[in-house]
Amino acid sequence: MTLRNKEIARLNDRYDLIGFDPRGVNYSTKTSCEGAPPPHAGPGPLTKASAKRIYEAMAADNAACGRSDPAFLGQLTTANVARDLDRVRAALGERRLNILGFSWGTWLGAVYRSLFPGRTGRVFLDSPAPPYTSFAEHDEGVAEATERNFARMAAWLARYDTTYGLGATAQQVRAAVLKLRHDYDAAPKTFTDLNATIDGASIAQLAGKTSPEWPRAGRALAELRGATGSQAPPTVKEIFGAEPAPPVPGAPEMMNMTMNRATICNEDQSRLGFSAAWAAYQERLEREPVTAFYFGAGCAGWPLPAQQTRVHRTGGSLVLSGHRYDTMSAYKWTLQTQAAIGGKVYTVDDDVHVSATRVPECAADVVAYFTTGRIDNGCDGEPVPTP
């Protein structure tokens, strides 16, 4: 486990910090069924025909994956991972586990707590997942939260209008970015030194950045507003031309996408057909016109039966750390989870996913909770940067 600052490292004074590889990940038993990426839609607005090709390819890949090892893949569920976690507890000789969970780990923590209430101590869940598994509702929640956070970005860009020149008010910035999206959808631009074509979806991606990226995203938007040459402006090239870092030889696997897909799809009740998926995409474009751009098949085609996982109230100590502007775990999911399983909401006033243990002020509260069982109502979180 990586502890980012001295405050959170104080957990070591009282606790042994234990991480584990869930089944399907890293050193635990696993399999792989990663297929080819879906077909490229081409630049400009996504057409229904292109969307159907993408959907059918993703659904076929889901079907092939699920059939590749159904006996193993079919038992990859959060409930089974929670049972594995309880075996870790037993092996350590501990009567109870205290849980510090992040992102998907918050769903695991909620499920463990529901299955084993008598074996659960203090629980702190940072950036909670919703109390259900639905790819369709997940996409809706992320799109809604991202568009809402852009309103903050627009106000920030307006505050620094002399730097970015996108407008002196949030409304002017929004209009400028929306026009930029429409312009690049109408006339996508290819640069000689950039493999990617810049279109309206590229503008949406920039507008959907979280606050640590606002300075770079703002520069890229400003550059694209006046880009006329054959070469990509510097910040645009930096963002869209960056090559992924090569894997470090011998480094442990941080995520296994086969396990990720199987665990979600085994529990997903939505599995939309193409017509419903296309209609939902069109509705997102209408509701979130600046930042919505993603279309996918979710768990369509997954051949294994859906296994519903339920969580419920159990009593005991629980803190749900929701980030007010988080775009990966929408804040409303924190409130939905509280309604489903109880607990105290601790609000981090930022848009940075799972930042509660990274910011010293917030990390001190986390340590105090695990030490005393008490915590206040929240913290400021990651500060918004300057240009």
Could you read off the pLDDT of 242-284 as tens digits, one per residue?
Answer: 888 888 888 888 889 999 999 999 999 899 999 999 999 999 9
The arithmetic mean of pLDDT across residues 333-356, rounded, is: 98
Q: pLDDT at residue 81 above 80?
A: yes
The arithmetic mean of pLDDT across residues 95-121, rounded, is: 97
Q: In this structure, are residues 237 and 192 in contact, taking their beta carbons and an 8 Å threshold?
A: no
Lowest mean pLDDT across 84-88, 168-172, 205-209, 251-255: 251-255
Q: In this structure, are residues 256 and 27 in contact, taking their beta carbons and an 8 Å threshold?
A: no
Residue ranges and CATH numbers for the domains of the chain are 47-76+260-308 (no CATH), 83-133+310-349+371-387 (3.40.50.1820), 143-240 (no CATH)
Q: In this structure, are residues 327 and 146 in contact, taking their beta carbons and an 8 Å threshold?
A: yes
| Whole-number average pLDDT of the chain | 96
Instruction: Kindly state the tokens that stand for 62.
Output: 């889901």
Q: pLDDT at residue 2 above 80?
A: no
Q: Which residues contact 205 (CB under 8 A, 6 or more apart)?
A: 293
Q: Which amino acid is at 153?
A: M
Which CA distances in Å does 365 have to 101, 153, 189, 338?
Answer: 15, 28, 48, 19
Give the model's pLDDT for residue 372: 97
The arithmetic mean of pLDDT across residues 172-198, rounded, is: 97
Residues in the chain: 387
Distance separating alpha carbons of residues 97 and 313, to the nearest angstrom: 17
Q: In this structure, are residues 143 and 287 in contact, taking their beta carbons and an 8 Å threshold?
A: yes
Give the model's pLDDT for residue 152: 99
Q: In this structure, are residues 85 and 97 in contact, taking their beta carbons and an 8 Å threshold?
A: yes
Per-residue confidence band for 122, with pLDDT thresholds at 50, 70 and 90: very high
Give the model's pLDDT for residue 1: 64
The distance in angstroms from the start CA to the end CA of the chain is 32
Q: pLDDT at residue 198 above 80?
A: yes
- Supply the DSSP string of 311-331, one letter for each residue: -----S-EEEEEETT-SSS-H
Q: pLDDT at residue 339 above 80?
A: yes
**Axis crossing angle, helix 104-115 with helix 78-92, rounded to the nearest 10:** 70
Q: In this structure, are residues 378 and 371 in contact, taking their beta carbons and an 8 Å threshold?
A: no
